[in-house]
Structures are given as structure tokens and as C-alpha cells.
Amino acid sequence: MFQDITLEELRALRDRKRITVIDVRSPSEYQESTLPNSLNIPLFDDQERAEVGTLYKQTSVQAAKDRGLEIVSAKLPAFIKEFGAIEGEKVVFCWRGGMRSRTTATVLSLMDIHAYRLTGGFKAYRKWVLDELETYDFKQKSYVIHGNTGTGKTMLLHRLKGLEHPVLDLEGMAGHRGSIFGQIGLQANNQKTFDSLLLEELITLEDSPYVLFEAESKRIGKVVMPQFMAHQKETGTQIWIDMPLESRVKQILEDYKPELYKEQCITAFRNIKSRIHVPVAAEIERTLQADLFGEAVALLLEHYYDPKYDYTSGQYDEAERISISANNLDEAEAAVISYLSSQGHVTA
């Protein structure tokens, strides 16, 4: 017979050994939000779930159970085979730890495939995430990376993480670069997914003496940072990177690849077109239409993003500030590493 485990027991088990967490909810539920790094093996697909749910509400509980049994019976061989191919310990969950996960765990047990069932399901996990973020005590020293648009701040953080510096990639968790063009080429996450990814990463970095992250606005695409992260952004050590316009244009072209997303870039530009002086806005749109993306980016930086960034930079006058001048991302990386080393932060 299967064994129920709490979320705390699941986390302890995951810390000790390899374990696969499996979401048996429908694909759309899984797509909306799930436990980080879980797999989706749905007991019902979206259409089947809707059918059973309608019977439950409009006919009877027994009618819903009967139809659910018909659906599951037809797919049992493939369902069991998919679980059997997964090595090691397994934990299954559904929305509230109810019928879908209980049915899955029971059927697997009958076929000698052991699987734990998460008590409370995803609903319990979501409550835990919200409670933890509400009371989170951020103890590490914060280093906040600033710089005009195109400085390559996100790529810099990726490089530093690759060198084992503790990094929070807030844009990566949001699936958005934080600007009006920020979703181009990406899949934006919702608040539930962002919250889960952030908390799991914070727990991973709890023993680090410091954390690096980018100076994001409180809203990043579809999501909002928790208040304690906004506080860290305002009070942490501010590392300001100054880079020439030419280098920033090159970095933006590498990051956004406008040649692949031309129409999306034009659509996004039209959302801010009215905020730019009319002749300049017309020239930007002309260069975008003509595939002159470098010229368009330079005009956007000079006439929109740089003035906007200069205005917001005055918010950090009271925080500790470190200024770095660099011609490119390599120089910026070397300078940040040198500064961190001077503060006693040396990676293994």
C-alpha cells in the first residue's frame, strides 16, 4: 500500500536521496504552476477532467466516479508503463491530495510500483510558499547590479553563477526581461511559478554569505517581487556598471535577436511610441521596418531608455555605491569579481 507524506517529509526525503516528484493533474493545471522540477503524468487530460467535473457538479458523485473509472481503465497499461520507467523513489500529487493522486498511488501499489502521496497536494505546497515568503528573513549581504539598458546585467549574473557565485536570476524566474520588449522570445511565468522558483532558490542560497541580483522594478512582466526583495534592492550595496553605447547596442542585438522577432519588436515599440518625440519615434519605426536594428536600438537607448534610467537612478543616493567603467561584458565581469574578492568573497 502507498504511504502518505507531508511536504516537510518530502523535502527531507529529497535532500537525502534521488526522488522524482510527479504531478498527476491535467496538462493545463501543470502548465499554470507546479512543484519545481516535477514531471507531469496526468491521470486525466484537460477534456477528460472537464467531463468528469461536469458530471460531478450536474449529475452525481457516483456518475463522476463511474466515468472516471472508465477513462482510467482504458489508459492503465500505458500509464503504469510510464511510471515503471522512472527509476528510484517517486512521489505523486494532485490539487488537494485527493482522488487523482490516491487512485494513482493505489494502482501503482497493486503493480508493485511504490509511490508516496503528498498530503494536501499542490494546494498545501502553494500555502507553504506564500507563508514562507510572507515571513522570509533575508540575512545575506546583497549586491545589486545596476546599469543602463544593454549593459548585459543578466548575462553578467549568468557568468558569475557559472563561477559559483550565489546569484538570484529574477528575470529568469519571471520569464521576462523586465522591459516593454521583455517577453520577446521568452515564455513569461505567472506569479505562482515565480514565487515557487524564488523560494526554492532562496532556500538553496541560505548558507551563502552574500547574494547577487539585478536591480529590477518591483513588477517584472506578469509577476511582482515580494516586499523583502524590494527592500534588499534599495538597501544592498549598489554596483553600477557604465558601458559605451556601441557595446550596449551589440549586447541587446545578441540578447533579443530582433531579426528573428521583427514583428513582435515593432508591436512592442508601438506601445511606447507615444512617449518619444514624434520625429525620433518615426525614425525608430522606419529603421525597424527596414531591418536596421542596430540603428533602431541606438535611437531607443538615447531617446527613451537612458533618460528613463537616469531619472530612476536617483532613488539609491543613500545606499553604498560602487561604480565600474567597462568597455564590454568581459571587463565588467573581471571588475565585479575583483571587487567581490576585495570584500573577501572568493569562490572555490
What's the grid cell of residue 90?
Answer: 517517486
Cα–Cα distance, 309 to 245 (Å, whole number) = 14
Q: What is the DSSP string of 53-75?
A: HHHHHHT-HHHHHHHHHHHHHHH
| Catalytic positions, written as ranges | 94
In whole angstroms, what separates CA 29 from the centre of its chain? 17
CA–CA gap between residue 180 and residue 149 (Å, rounded): 12
* Residue found by looking up cell 530582433 in the block: 258
Residue 181 grid cell? 520588449
d(CA 41, CA 329): 42
C-alpha–C-alpha distance, residues 178 and 160, integer Å: 20
CA–CA gap between residue 284 and residue 225 (Å, rounded): 32
Long-range contacts of 331-339 (CB under 8 A, 24+ apart): 332/151, 332/152, 332/156, 332/241, 332/243, 333/156, 333/159, 333/160, 335/241, 336/145, 336/156, 336/160, 336/239, 336/241, 337/160, 337/163, 339/239
Nearest to 43 by CA among 119, 99, 118: 99
Backbone angles phi, psi at 234, to 5 degrees: -80, -30
Rounded (10°) CA dihedral 167, 171, 175, 178: 180
Instruction: Count other Cβ atoms within 10 Å, centred on residue 250.
Output: 18
- Within 10 Å of residue 178's Cβ, how many Cβ atoms? 20
The span from the CA of 298 to the CA of 284, in Å, is 9
